[in-house]
Amino acid sequence: MPDQGAVVVLGARSLVFHDGTLGPLFSAPSAKRLLIFEPRLAQSRLVTEALRKLSMQNAVVIDEAVWRYEGELGLYVLNPIKGASYPEWAGSIASVRRDLIERHVRGEDVAEIKVRCSTPDCWFGRFGVSKISYLQIDGGGSDFEILRSINLALHSPSVIRLAFSGLDDADKARCASYLYPDYDLFHDGMELLAVRFKDLL
């Protein structure tokens, strides 16, 4: 990938669980800065430790959510009552929507936690991010709202990857319409990849 800016990851669930697709991007010279936003402390600590082992000096893990305002945000997560058992991946899911979590776990095992949140402009300004080369959003069903909060015209990401699995059909369509025709779109129902090939030449 050309030397075009920062790699930004919003939601680190896929980094904690079996996703190796970002490894080459993290270590590429094109990644002037790697910003990973993960508001849940347990998850952010796992990512921080993994990056430390890789000696990635250009990486920063930020334990806040990216949202449309600055302050506090409620997230629904798995908090199993005594005797309940779930696969390990269930502990990594989080959403501002309780109903999305309840698709995977029992309602009595869902709890709300409060996390800090800030706007994209706040953090991008703090770290001097202008151009984004790669943007990944795993927003627990809020991908479209997070996507809209980022000034794509200003930051001009060359590649955008959205986790589609938590979205309903209407939100998937909104994401696609928002990005097309500026991006070529590829999706398989689980994720959407939006690419501006002219930026990669």
Map out the domains of the chain as residue ranges.
5-70+121-200
Q: Is 67 helix (H, G, I), strand (E, B) or coil?
A: coil
The two three-digit tokens of residue 70, written as one number: 């600055």
Using the predicted structure, report yes or no on whether residue 43 has a pLDDT greater than 90: no
Q: With bands split at pLDDT 50, 70 and 90, how would you rate the model's confidence at 117? A: very high
Percent pLDDT > 70 in the chain is 89
Fold of 5-70+121-200: Rossmann fold (3.40.50)
Using the predicted structure, report yes or no on whether residue 55 has a pLDDT greater than 90: no
Q: Region 69-86: what's the mean pLDDT?
A: 91
Q: Region 162-181: what's the mean pLDDT?
A: 89
Rounded (to 5) percent helix, strand, coil in the chain? 35, 30, 40
pTM of the model: 0.88
- Looking at the DSSP assignment, which residues form a beta bridge with residue 36? 9, 61
Are 175 and 145 within 8 A, CB to CB? no
Lowest mean pLDDT among 45-59, 74-88, 103-117, 123-137: 45-59
